[in-house]
């Protein structure tokens, strides 16, 4: 297994995702991650209940999920607007919370919805944490709580 010092490849992947999403929220605004988070919920609901479609293999499932996700993101980008945080401390806090919530949502989708073990298989401690320690429903509620926390003060 690849590691740099005490950082394993799993931690490096999570850190890169978190940092990339943080810089995206700081540069483009928090509403980009809000739309990203909110588009996961209807996408997952529709993907889990696709009528008349049987998807075999990981690649078709990933493609269909991403198509539905980008469709909902596009719809939300046309209809959902949010104000930016102009205080640097609030902007940083919102960016960190929303990027951590986005990473948690992505990993939840990775473990519970899409079969991505063929792309990369996380180690057993990470897998146990996302599969058995914290229930699936809690991982889907935590990003909504993060949205409420970051939206506090925006009126």
pLDDT of residue 70: 92
Residues in the chain with pLDDT < 70? 1-6, 80-89, 118, 133, 152-155
pLDDT of residue 78: 76
Burial (Cβ within 10 Å: 0-12, 13-18, ≥19) of residue 114: middle
pTM: 0.77
Express each pLDDT in 43-71 by its tens digit: 888 888 887 777 787 788 888 889 999 99
Asked if 118 contacts 58 with a C-beta cutoff of 8 angstroms, the reply is yes
- Give the per-residue pLDDT at 19: 92
Domain of residue 14, residue span: 3-151
Predicted pLDDT at 71: 92
Predicted confidence at residue 8, as pLDDT, reads 76
What lies within 8 Å, CB to CB, of 140 at 6+ separation is 41, 44, 105, 108
**Number of domains the chain is built from:** 1
């Amino acid at each position: 297994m690849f590691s740099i010092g005490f950082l394993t490849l799993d931690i490096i992947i999570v850190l890169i995702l978190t940092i990339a999403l943080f810089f995206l929220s700081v540069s483009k605004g928090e509403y980009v991650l809000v739309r990203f988070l909110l588009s996961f919920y209807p996408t997952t609901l529709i993907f889990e209940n696709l009528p008349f479609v049987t998807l075999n293999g990981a690649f078709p499932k990933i493609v269909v999920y991403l198509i539905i996700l980008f469709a909902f993101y596009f719809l939300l980008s046309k209809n959902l607007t949010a104000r930016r945080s102009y205080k640097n401390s609030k902007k940083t806090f919102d960016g960190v919370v929303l990027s951590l919530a986005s990473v948690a949502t992505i990993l939840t989708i990775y473990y519970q919805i899409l079969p991505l073990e063929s792309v990369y298989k996380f180690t057993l401690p990470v897998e146990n944490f996302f599969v058995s320690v914290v229930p699936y429903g809690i991982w889907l509620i935590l990003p909504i709580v993060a949205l409420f926390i970051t939206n506090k003060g925006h009126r």
